[in-house]
Structure 1
Amino acid sequence: MTKTLNNNIVIILLCACFFISCDKKRVFDTYTSVSSSGWEANSTIDFNFEVNDTIQPKNLFINIRNNNDYDYSNLFLITELNFPDGQKIIDTLEYDMADKTGKFLGTGFSEIKENKLFYKENITFPATGNYTFKVSQAMRKNGKIKGIAVLEGITEVGFRIEKTQ
Structure 2
Amino acid sequence: MTFAAVIVANVFASCTTDTVYDTYDHTPLSGWEKNDTLSFDVPKMKQAGVYSQSLGVRMTEIFPFTSVSLIVQQTVYPSGKVVTDTIKCPITDSRGNFLGDGVSAYQYSFPIREISLNKGDSLHICVRHNMKREILPGVSDIGVKIVKR
Please name the residue that 1:136 is paired with: 128
Say if 2:82 is the partner of 1:97: no
TM-score of the two chains, using structure 2 as the length reference: 0.83
Cα deviation for residue 124 of structure 1 reads 2.1
Please name the residue that 2:138 is paired with: 153
Cα deviation for residue 126 of structure 1 reads 4.1
For residues 14-68 of structure 1, give each alpha carbon's deviation from its aligned partner in whole angstroms, at most 9, with x where no partner exists: xxxx9xx93613211010010132110000000001222212x221000000000
Please name the residue that 1:11 is paired with: none
CA distance in 1, matches of 2:60, 2:15: 27
- Greater share of residues in strand: 2
TM-score of the two chains, using structure 1 as the length reference: 0.75
CA distance in 1, matches of 2:123, 2:31: 27
Say if 2:30 is the partner of 1:37: yes
Please name the residue that 2:74 is paired with: 81
Structure 2 counterpart of 1:102, one-letter code: G
Task: Give structure 1 stretches of 5+ with no counterpart.
Answer: 1-17, 141-147
Please name the residue that 1:25 is paired with: 18
Cα deviation for residue 139 of structure 1 reads 0.7
For residues 96-127 of structure 1, give each alpha carbon's deviation from its aligned partner in whole angstroms, at most 9, with x where no partner exists: 1111211111112x211000110123x32145
Task: Give structure 2 stretches of 5+ with no counterpart.
Answer: 1-10
The sequence identity of aligned pairs, in percent, is 25
CA distance in 1, matches of 2:59, 2:30: 13
Q: Please tell me whether the aligned partners of residues 68 and 90 of structure 2 are also in contact (alpha carbons under 8 angstroms).
A: yes
For residues 44-97 of structure 1, give each alpha carbon's deviation from its aligned partner in whole angstroms, at most 9, with x where no partner exists: 000001222212x22100000000010111111111000112121112221211
CA distance in 2, matches of 1:35, 1:74: 18
For residues 107-155 of structure 1, give each alpha carbon's deviation from its aligned partner in whole angstroms, at most 9, with x where no partner exists: 12x211000110123x321452321011000112xxxxxxx11100000
Q: CA RMSD, aligned part only?
A: 1.8
- Do the aligned partners of residues 160 and 37 (structure 1) sit closer, same or farther apart at CA in structure 2, a change above 3 Å counting? same
CA distance in 2, matches of 1:23, 1:103: 34
SS at match of 2:101: coil
CA distance in 2, matches of 1:77, 1:157: 10
Counterpart mapping for 1:48-87 below 5 A: 48-50=41-43, 51-55=45-49, 57-84=50-77, 85-87=79-81
